[in-house]
Structure 1
Amino acid sequence: MMVLLLDTFVRYLRFEKRMSDHTIIAYKTDLSQFIHYMKATYDIEMANEVKSIHIRSWLVDLKELKQKERSLQRKISSLKSWFKFLLNRTEVTENPTVQITGPKAPKRLPAFLEQQQSEALFATPDYAAGFEGLTEELIMELLYQTGIRRAELIGLLEQDVDPYRKQIVVLGKRNKERAIPIGAGLLVLIKNYIAEKKAKVSTEHNFLLTLESGKPLYDQYVYRVVKKYLQEVTTLSKKSPHVLRHTFATHLTNNGANISAIKELLGHSSLAATQIYTHNNIEHLKKIYQQAHPKAVKDE
């Protein structure tokens, strides 16, 4: 039955592919919806009975329910990965997703802070008093100065900070490590934070950042901290930690950094994921041209 095969696939994603919990939940949700549809609509419970026509029928129904293009693309990707897995394990004799293609979604440029907004963000921030404020400051500075992901920030250990090489070592997706250089100012902030933590907080872990209670940081805490300070300098609808990651990469691009170097700093597996920042750079140059060139056609 497909339900049992899905459980096997989830274990494969977790223990062999080492995907994040967030990604695994997305796969499981998409495939559970598909399995339910196959049973309810066609009374199909076995994976080897699924044909491409059944998949197209499901996608049409989703489209009629106003599912967005990106959501449909993700569901198709989930199905393709699953049936490729089943084919490799000889659970099916053919892959019904081979002829399935998804709708093209419009490219969305990443949300980021303009240079003057980031300068305002760190000019005179009103951080909370005491150790909580130190934690908030280090969260903001690390996210902007290194471009690390929220999960990577939470997972940083004290021993990941190398003061001699002036770098931090980050454990990224698929357990891939990468070294990111840090400036002298950030290094001093980290050293002071560790000293204050040892003096005032009792912990049973070795994570770099911690709550005042001594417990490790968690996703929503980091999100709330970032949102609190971003809303003081921007009207962007998104105010998540990823905005600071996008800002890090965009500012590097705008200031002439090599796209391959940015790829390594961000921990992207392919250059294609990083090239979105070249689009941001083009838009940035267009804006400068419109504002500065005497022959530019000004927008009404």
Structure 2
Amino acid sequence: MYTSEDPHLTDFIQYLKLEKRFTGHTVRAYFDDISQFAGYLKLEYDTGSLVLASTVMVRSWLSSLKEGKQPLSARSIGRKLSSLRSLYKYLLKKSVIPASPVASLSAPKSGKKLPVYVEEKQAERLFAGNSYGDGWKGLTTELILNLFYQTGMRLSELVNLKQEQVNFYSRTIKVLGKGNKERLIPVGQDLLEMIRHYESLKCGQWEQFDTVHLLLTDKGRALYPQYVYRIVNHYLKDFTTLKKRSPHILRHSFATHLLNNGADLNAVKELLGHSSLAATQVYTHTTIGKLKEVHRKAHPKG
């Protein structure tokens, strides 16, 4: 699947797949970024060897990405630099190179994108006993929307969610996140009852079906990302004017609403499965609205 003339890139990709256990999508992104750089080396410096790359060569490539016919955003360039950084860290660890050519390079600065989310009043309308459609697809739609909003899990985590990851006794769902890191998310009794009801109907729906995954299509098979995306996008358009209506919007809403209602930032970090607090802090912008409301109601001059 991933073919390269450079054996070191092949080894690195195997390391990402087998040891780091990254998803196929993530591995493909690393491979494409590094292969693009290798192609640049061959074209501009007449060498396809990644181990011979210098800091000047990397900087030249990054400049070409920024100033080319189709310039990339600072965010995209930063991702490509991150891919190279991971590769050369691996080669350094394996003693293939004496020093990393990207060690002294910094990613270009980009303005932080504020997360788009559904307002709390809109969320109330979204889950206020609405019809989610007929048949099995309607049941699945309802459970998908509730799982995203009540747990904050990612799309990849939801489609891979297995029945055994739901613990009715402890009222938690064990989620397998990025880098195969596990986390426990507490869930309410209403959601657990919804899951229990969903599971109880499976045997009467099909003679043969996927007995491992929690969420199934109307053909009894495990969900796939595009199927879920279409469901969420279609349903949200009736409840919000947001242009973006991806599943991630509900994850953003989960985090934003928790913080707006006084949740601890570190606790939200753990619930989202973020590796650093910096990733969670992007949601704190929303709390200023809550602070203004408190000030207006409580201060004599508010």
Query: How many residues of Structure 1 are paired with residues of Structure 2 in the alignment?
Result: 296
Alignment gaps of 5+ in structure 1:
none
Indicate how the Cα distance of structure 1 residues 41 and 281 shifts in structure 2: closer, same or farther if over 3 A, else same.
Answer: same
Structure-1 residue corresponding to 2:134: 129
Please tell me whether residue 267 in structure 1 is matched to residue 273 in structure 2: yes
Residue in structure 1 matched with residue 224 of structure 2 by the alignment: 218
| Aligned-residue offset at 1:292 | 9.8
Tell me how large the CA RMSD over aligned residues is. Answer: 2.0
Could you say if the C-alpha distance between residues 168 and 36 of structure 1 is closer, same or farther in structure 2, counting changes exceeding 3 Å? same
Closer, same or farther: CA 291–10 of 1 in aligned 2, 3 Å: farther
**1:1-300 alignment to 2 at 5 Å?**
3-65=6-68, 66-201=71-206, 202-286=208-292
- Give the distance between the partners of 2:166 and 2:210, measured in 1 at CA: 19
8 Å contact kept, 1:17–1:174: yes
TM-score of the aligned structures, taking structure 1 as reference length: 0.92
Following TM superposition, by how much is the alpha carbon of 1:171 offset from its aligned partner in structure 2, in angstroms? 1.5
Question: Do 2:6 and 2:50's aligned partners in 1 also have CA atoms closer than 8 Å?
Answer: no
Q: Within 1, Cα distance between the matches of 2:21 and 2:117?
A: 29
Q: 1:284: Cα distance to partner?
A: 4.8
User: In the TM superposition, what is the alpha-carbon distance from 1:248 to its structure 2 partner?
Assistant: 0.4
Mapped partners of 2:196, 2:124: distance in 1:
23
Q: Aligned partners of 1:227 and 1:289: how far apart in 2?
A: 36
1:235/1:294 CA distance change after superposition, 3 Å: farther
Secondary structure of the corresponding residue to residue 142 of structure 1: helix
The answer to whether the 8 Å contact 1:109/1:280 transfers is: no
When residues 182 and 48 of structure 1 are mapped into structure 2, their CA distance, relative to the original with a 3 A threshold, is closer
Q: Is the 8 A contact 1:147 1:249 kept in 2?
A: yes
In the alignment, the residues of structure 2 paired with residue 77 and residue 120 of structure 1 have an alpha-carbon distance, to the nearest angstrom, of: 41
Q: 1:78 to 1:255 in 2, by over 3 A?
A: same
Cα shift at 1:280: 2.3
Counterpart code for 2:217: L
Note closer, same or farther for the CA distance 1:15–1:243 as it changes in structure 2 (3 Å cut): same
Structure 1 residues 240, 294: CA separation in 2 closer, same or farther (over 3 Å shift)?
farther
- CA shift at 1:83, angstroms? 1.0
Distance in 1 between the 2:210 and 2:49 partners?
48
Encode CA deviations 1:39-64: one digit per residue, 9 max, x unaligned.
01110122332111111111111111
**Which deviates the most, 237-246 or 1-10?**
1-10
Secondary structure of the structure 2 residue equivalent to 1:123: coil
Q: Matched residues in 1 for 2:51 and 2:84: separation?
A: 13
Q: Shift of residue 219 of structure 1? A: 0.3
Deviation by residue 1:81-138 (Cα, 9 ceiling, x = unmatched): 1111111112222211112112101011111111111111112433120111101110
User: Do the aligned residues in 2 keep the contact of 1:171 with 1:177 (CA within 8 Å)?
Assistant: yes
- Name which of structure 1's ranges 83-92 and 213-222 shifts more when overlaid on structure 2: 83-92
Equivalent residue of 2:103, what SS? coil
Q: Residues 76 and 2 (structure 1 numbering): CA distance in 2 closer, same or farther, change over 3 Å? A: farther
Alignment CA distance shift 1:287-1:62 (3 Å): farther
